[in-house]
Structure 1
Amino acid sequence: MADVKTGNIIDDIVADHREFESVFTEIESAGEPRTQPELVEHVIAGIVRHAVAEEQYVYPAARRVLPDGDKLVEHEIEEHSQAEEVMKAIEKAGTDDPKYDELVREMIADIRHHIEDEEEKLLPQLREACPAEELGKLSEEFHRAKKMAPTRPHPMAPDRPPANKILGPGAGLVDRLRDALTGRNT
C-alpha cells in the first residue's frame, strides 16, 4: 500500500480507506478470494498498520478533543478488534480451507462498515475540533507509527496507550522479519 502523506490526518486516513476499497474491489472481481491470496495478505498488512497507528495517535486525540470521544473511540476499537479476529482466522485458515473465501468476504464487509462509521462520525468531528497544526502533527505521528507497526493481526495485543506504543514496534519488527523470511509481500 502506498503511504499517502497529505499533511492532514483526516485526509491521510481517508486516502488509506480508498486504497483498501480499491484492493477489495480487485479481490471481489476475481470471484473467489482464494485466487488472490497475495492481495488478501497485502490488504491485511495495510489494515493492521493503519489500525495500530490510529489506536496509538488518532484515537487518543479524539478522546481528548471530542465531547463524546470516549464513546466514539471505544466503538472504533471494538470494530478493530472484531476485524482483527477475522483477519487472524484468515491467516490460520489458508487458501485450502473451505471457509477462506467466506472469511475474506466477512473481513471486507467489516472493514467497509468501519470505514463508513469513521467517515460519517469520528473524522468529521475530529476535523472540526482540531486545529490544522494538530491535524498535521497527527499526520506525521500516524505515518511514523505505520512504518513501525505490526503487519499481521495480533488480537491479544493491547490497543490503548501506553502499552500499544511500547509493544507495537516490537511486534512490528518480528512481523517484518517473519514477512522477509516467508517472502510475504507487505
Structure 2
Amino acid sequence: MGHGGNVIAELTADHREVEEMFAQIEAQPVGHPERRHLADLLTSELVRHSVAEEMHLYPSVRSHVAGGDELADKELADHGRIERMLKDLEERDAEDPEFNDIVAKLKFEVASHVREEEAELFPKLTAACSPEELEALGRLVRRAKETAPTRPHPSMPDTPPANKLLAPGAGLVDRVRDLLSGRGSSS
C-alpha cells in the first residue's frame, strides 16, 4: 500500500508496513543477526509513526471527536507501553533469550493498538472531519515523520506543544547516530 492521501490512508499504510516488518522478523531463524537489523527498522518506523500521531492525529481527535480526550489519552498510554518495549528491545542482541519474548509481546501490543485505531478512532475522525481536513492532516503527518526521532525516547513529552518543539531535535540526533552506527542501512 502506498503512502499519500488523507491521514487515514497514510496511517493505514504504515500499519500494513509494520505488520510486514513483524513477518520479516519472524521469518528469520531465532538468534540470526538479521533479526536485530529488522528490529531496528521496525523500531524506527514505529517511533516515527507514533510521534507523527502524537503531534497531529491525537490533537485533532481531541478537538473534533466527541469523547476525543479519553480516546487520545488511551492511545497515548498504548504508545507509552510500546515505546518502553522498543527501548528494552533496542538494548538486546538477537541472541538474547529475551529478544524473542519482547518481539512477541510488542507484536501483540501493536496489533491491539492498530485494531482499536482502525475500528474506532479512524471511523470517528472520518465522521467528524471534512475530506479537506483529513487530507491536510495527512500532509502534516507525512511531514512530521520526515523529522521525527528514529529511536525510542520514553521520557520525551508526547503532547503539544512540548513534543512539537522537541521531536525534530531528537530526530536529528537520532539520524546522526543512525548514520554513524550504520543502523537502519542496508545489510
Q: TM-score, normalised by structure 1?
A: 0.94
Unaligned runs of 5+ in 1: none
Please point out which of 6, 19, 37 is paired with 1:21. 19
For residue 183 of structure 1, what is the aligned residue in structure 2?
A: 182
Over residues 121-158 of structure 1, what are the superposed CA-to-partner deviations in whole Å (9 max), with x where a residue is unaligned? 10111111110111011011101100000000000000
**Separation of aligned partners in 2, 1:63 and 1:33:** 43
- Divergent runs of 4+, >6 A: none
For residue 144 of structure 1, what is the aligned residue in structure 2?
A: 143
**Separation of aligned partners in 2, 1:129 and 1:104:** 35
Paired letter, 1:14: T
Query: What's the Cα RMSD here?
Result: 1.4
Cα drift, residue 34 of structure 1: 5.0
Residue 7 in structure 1 maps to residue 5 in structure 2: yes
In structure 2, relative to structure 1, the CA distance for the partners of 1:118 and 1:166 (3 Å cut) is same
Cα drift, residue 32 of structure 1: 2.5
- Is the Cα–Cα contact under 8 Å of residues 62 and 69 in structure 1 kept in the other structure? yes
Residue 174 in structure 1 maps to residue 148 in structure 2: no
Percent of pairs with identical residues: 42
- Is the Cα–Cα contact under 8 Å of residues 50 and 79 in structure 2 kept in the other structure? yes
Residue 105 in structure 1 maps to residue 104 in structure 2: yes
Q: TM-score, normalised by structure 2?
A: 0.94
- Is the Cα–Cα contact under 8 Å of residues 49 and 150 in structure 1 kept in the other structure? yes
**Separation of aligned partners in 2, 1:15 and 1:161:** 25
Over residues 34-58 of structure 1, what are the superposed CA-to-partner deviations in whole Å (9 max), with x where a residue is unaligned? 5411111101100100000000001
